[in-house]
Amino acid sequence: MNPPAPSLEWHGRVIAPGCAEAETLFTTQRISFFGGVDPETGVIVERGHELYGQSLAGKILIFPTGKGSTVGSYTLYRLKYSGKAPAAILNLECEPITAVGCIIAAIPCLDHLPIADLASHPRLRVDGARVETQYFASPHHIG
């Protein structure tokens, strides 16, 4: 009998530490949290954005980098309070608005990741610096 295929695994740079396991939501476009995301519902409301109308609540949100006003850090905090924050954020290159927002809201955040590769997986687990698929449990999590 063949051994089970190993789960895929990537290592990023830790911006805000934490663990999460959830469905993924991916965009190739930058995200502005202030003005671009409804802080009460988690729905992306920036006109013309490819995720317009979708909710980031509870998702592992994958996007290249943030943009917009520094007040966006507080939007992430408010999303957390509303129970509508993303479960984790994965970036190509994190910037200060997202980084500060993730820390004050305790949202796990990693960057320096191949986000297009991650995006093909419907569900991921984030644990510290590691991102992994969940087809099979990684040996680190047995027992």
Partner 1 sequence: MTLQLTPYEQSLLAGDQGRAAQKALQILVALGTIYNAERLLPVASVQIAGVSYDNLGEAGLQWLSEMADGGGQAQTLATLNPAGMDIQNWPALGISPAFAANQQRVIDAFTRMGVVAACTCTPYLIGNLPRYGEHIAWAESSAVCYANSVIGARTNREGGPSALAAALTARTPAYGLHLEPNRRPSVTIVIEPSLGSALDFTALGKAIGQKLESAAPGLIPYLRGGLDPAEAGAASPASLEALKSFCASVATYAGLPLFHWEGLTPEAALYAPPADVLRVTADDLRLARAALSDARPDEIDFVSLGCPHLSIQEIARAAQLLRGKRVRKEFWLTTARPTKHIADQMGYTAIIEASGAKFAVDTCCVVAPIQGRFAALATDSAKACYYASSKNKFKTLLLTFDEVIQLAQETP
At 125, the amino acid letter reads R
| CA distances in angstroms from 58 to 21, 24, 64, 84, listed in the order given | 9, 9, 19, 7
The pairing of beta strand 13-16 with beta strand 109-111: antiparallel
Closest CA to 56 of 96, 98, 95: 98
- Closest distance between partner 1 and the C-beta of residue 47, in Å? 19
Nearer to partner 1, 13 or 141 (CB): 13
- Closest distance between partner 1 and the C-beta of residue 116, in Å? 21
- Closest distance between partner 1 and the C-beta of residue 101, in Å? 8
Structural contact between residues 21 and 142, judged by C-beta atoms closer than 8 angstroms:
no
- Which of 21, 95, 127, 138 binds partner 1 (CB under 8 A)? It is 95
Nearer to partner 1, 6 or 83 (CB): 83
In this structure, the chain runs to a length of: 143
- Which of 43, 103, 134, 138 binds partner 1 (CB under 8 A)? It is 103
The binding site for partner 1 (CB under 8 A) comprises: 13-16, 39, 70-71, 73-75, 77-78, 81, 94-97, 99-100, 102-104
